[in-house]
Amino acid sequence: MGREITNQVSGEAAIPEEIPVLSPIFESAGERAEYPILCRVDVDAAAQRLTLRPRREDLRSVEEMHLADIGARLSDGLSESVPVYFGTVEGS
């Protein structure tokens, strides 16, 4: 059954197809920034379960943005004589 029909039969309010969820990308003490990740909402009314499934392309995109942010902070914090590539210091 489609989501709208299931909602009408069960009397539940409309549930969106996707929702943005703020989530940290990396688990480390220094990296606490949260980014919005669009998640698909899957409802299993029979099991009374709601599952959020992040879209793969959003995960990749947000990870790339976060790595770029880390690289920018490293570049800003180091002297210009130290090149930074993709968040790593050359020669390390």
Residue pLDDT, tens place only, 12-28: 667 889 999 998 888 77
CB neighbour burial string for 23-39, b if at least 16 within 10 angstroms, e if fewer:
eebeeeeeeeeebebbb
The pLDDT tens digits of the residues spanning 37-51 come to 999 999 888 888 889
The pair of three-digit structure tokens given for residue 35, joined into one six-digit string: 């980014």
The pair of three-digit structure tokens given for residue 74, joined into one six-digit string: 């490293």
Looking at per-residue confidence, does 52 or 67 come out higher? 52
pLDDT at 88 over 60: no
At 46, which amino acid appears?
Answer: A
Query: Are the CB atoms for 39 and 21 separated by under 8 Å?
Result: yes
